[in-house]
Amino acid sequence: MTKNITANPLQTGADELERLALEEIVKRRRFDDSVTALVVPALASDLAIAMAKLGCRVTVGDEAARRKSLADLARTAGLADEVAFAEFDFAHPAENLPGEPFDLIVIRRGICCVPYEQARHAIHQLLLRLKIGGKLYLSILGLHSELGDGYAGAERILSERFCELDPRMAAKYDIPGPVCLYSERNLFTLLLEAGASVLRTFTSTHGNVKGIAVRV
């Protein structure tokens, strides 16, 4: 039996990129009940639950310590069969993930925590886990956001930009260790060099950059 689709998926507290991903699920389910998605990392798991409520089968990739909290949340929501968990690390992506190939992949954060070449490789590998025509939704910390204040890598080329934040910013946002911050143009370059067809990029009101790409 086909599950009911939530009337208004925008009533979730999701940001603009995530709302677009939710809308894509609604569109795809009009033609195919078996829509699948990957969300990395879990964060509060709100997006995964919202996707599952729309009838999408969701795999959440994150560190092993998040498995139980996600399982409890999915069970409480009555969605234990629709939400799966897989250990995931951008530096060493798993060879197989439950549910692949996916219709959608949403990367909420984390790709900045590896150098550019590793990020490019990780995005390329994730694209291969999409169906042809599947979409990738990517959110990245912005070079021109508040995080860029005092950032030592601001003047470096993208391939060499992997530095620690200014100590004040690192403490404020709890981001220890080096990161690679991106401009909107840098994001376009990342997606293009990873082998994606870029549909759209934009910058949020907070200065972080977002992109949507498709596997062709």
Q: Break the chain into its structural domains and give their ranges.
A: 33-108, 109-216
Count of other CB atoms within 10 angstroms of residue 211: 24
User: Per DSSP, what are the bridge partners of residue 163?
Assistant: 179
DSSP states along 103-159: EEEEE-S-GGGS-HHHHHHHHHHHHTTEEEEEEEEEEE-BTTSGGGTT-TTTTS-GG
Sign of the dihedral through C-alpha 92, 45, 165, 16 = positive
Report, as ranges of residue numbers, the positions in the chain whose pLDDT lies below 70. 1-14, 44
pLDDT of residue 14: 64
Residue with tokens 């629709």: 82
pTM: 0.91
pLDDT of residue 44: 62
Closest by CA to 166, choosing from 182, 178, 184, 183, is 178
pLDDT of residue 5: 41
Q: Which CATH architecture has domain 109-216?
A: 3-Layer(aba) Sandwich (3.40)
Closest by CA to 181, choosing from 202, 204, 200, 207, is 207
189 exposure class (CB count in 10 Å sphere: 0-12, 13-18, 19+): middle
pLDDT of residue 91: 79
Same CATH topology for 33-108 and 109-216: the answer is yes
Q: What class, spelled out in words, does domain 33-108 have in CATH?
A: alpha beta
